[in-house]
Amino acid sequence: MAARGTTKRASAVAAPPSCSCFARFVFLASFLLLVALVYSAASPSIIPRYDDRLKDPPARRGDRLTCNYSDGSWIPEPETVPSRYDHTCKEIFKGWNCIGNRKINGRDLLRWRWQPSRCHLPRLDPLRFLHRFRDSNIGFVGDSLNRNMFASLVCMLRSASGEVRKWRPAGADRGFTFLNYNLTIAYHRTNLLVQYGRWSASDLGGPLELRGYKQGYRVDVDVPERSWAEAPGFHHILIFNTGHWWWAPSKFDPVQSPMLFFENGLPLLPPVTPEIGFSLALRHMILYVERRTTMDTMKFFRTQSPRHFEGGDWNLGGSCRRTQPLLPHEVEELFSTKNATNAEARVINRHLYEVLHGTSFHILDITRMSELRADAHPSTTGGKMHEDCMHWCLPGLTDTWNDAFVATLEDHLGN
């Protein structure tokens, strides 16, 4: 039956249609085409127009594309937006409390919004975050700039949930558990990520002594510092940083107290520069973390936070007293590699991108948005003998770092 029916339809198609049948066919086809066009116009969510997609590029994994949150500009809000938290949050280190310390533009910092070039960066919703990441452990591992970011996140979450208990996982410098959500957030302090300590020449001699070294710092590029060695096995989400201490001549004077690098317990010979030691340490620590985490662990490495010293370095009278974000050409003048005072951020980032390529780490790039914000440091209000042009006011810029962190996290996890 099927074969015969097919043969009959084929014969009918081959025969020339009569005028009346042909007219009805044309009318029916035109009508169906009109219905399809009307339905398409009324349902852009089902069949989006190409130019509509260009007007509002998607910013979520579910929409097939993710946003480059690092590329954009700072937009002044017409009015001061509500503060996410205020200066009374106890986790704010005293020197970073610019509103409490009456910095002249302390409150003005809250009215600047980071606008990515091709999408929207949502503000972190504390209650949504607490619900979404309940029964999780989140660890910040790094120097005081990561504590800056840690404090920002804790203060934002405390504004939505006051049931908090201090609790430090093994090795952590600080930590809090949000009891209603069983969510723990901790900060593991480490300056270099790797273990280091004072080194002095031995009376028995050795390869370094033969090269004239009398003292310095022994830096073991393949041994993690104890403060965070257990963190990869405990936290579900990790945010790492390092960099500032590697270029700190006041700590590691290349003549009086040089960094002397060791691997497998033996000195690297001939001795290598801090730049080479930095890359070696990064490679070892990334492998260390990857071997001790599960496939479900989300691992981020934050790019370098820039300094904004003008007129000299921190110990040479450098200052940062601007009250407005920098213009693009001012950024290039201040951060050119020819300007040794602030060149470290871009030098460090080159190493980070090279070493992290092909690993399971996600890069959280906050450098560009931060380079523009010379106005957002504690400056003279930090209470130090020199101006603080390295850390950031709280509330302030690191709140936006956390916006980008959480948005990137949700992009990869899916909404």
* pLDDT tens digits, one per residue of 100-122: 999 999 999 999 999 999 999 99
Q: Is the pLDDT of residue 22 over 70?
A: no
What is the predicted pLDDT for the residue at 335? 85
Spans of all domains in the chain: 54-413
pLDDT digits (tens, 9 = 90+) for 150-160: 999 999 999 99
Helical packing angle, 144-158 and 397-413, nearest 10°: 80
pLDDT digits (tens, 9 = 90+) for 228-258: 999 999 999 999 999 999 988 778 988 899 9
Strands 237-240 and 137-142, sheet pairing: parallel
Q: Amino acid identity, residue 255?
A: V
Q: Assess contact for 373 and 312: CB atoms under 8 A.
A: no
What is the predicted pLDDT for the residue at 82? 81
More confident residue, 190 or 33: 190
Residue 168's closest CA among 139, 198, 194, 197?
Answer: 139
What is the predicted pLDDT for the residue at 337? 63
Q: Which long-range contacts (CB under 8 A, 24 or more apart) does 30-39 make?
A: none
- Most distant pair of Cα atoms in the chain: their distance: 113
More confident residue, 91 or 34: 91
Confidence of residue 65 (pLDDT cuts 50, 70, 90): low
Mean of all residue pLDDT scores within the chain: 85
Q: Amino acid identity, residue 289?
A: V
Strands 183-189 and 174-178, sheet pairing: antiparallel
Q: For residue 367, is it left (φ>0), alpha (ψ between -120 and 50) or beta?
A: alpha
Residue 298's closest CA among 410, 388, 391?
Answer: 410
Report residue 156: phi and psi, to 5°.
Answer: -65, -40
Angle at 170 between CA 167 and CA 176, to 5 degrees: 20
Helical packing angle, 344-356 and 274-292, nearest 10°: 40
Q: Assess contact for 301 and 285: CB atoms under 8 A.
A: no
Strand partners, 393: none
Least confident interval from 24-33, 125-134, 348-357, 365-374? 24-33
Which fold would CATH assign to domain 54-413? Rossmann fold (3.40.50)
Query: What's the mean pLDDT in 313-339?
Result: 86
Distance CA 56, CA 91 (A): 38
Q: Is the pLDDT of residue 320 over 80?
A: yes
More confident residue, 294 or 335: 294
Query: What's the mean pLDDT in 52-79?
Result: 63
What is the predicted pLDDT for the residue at 339? 66
Distance CA 285, CA 221 (A): 8
What is the predicted pLDDT for the residue at 286? 98
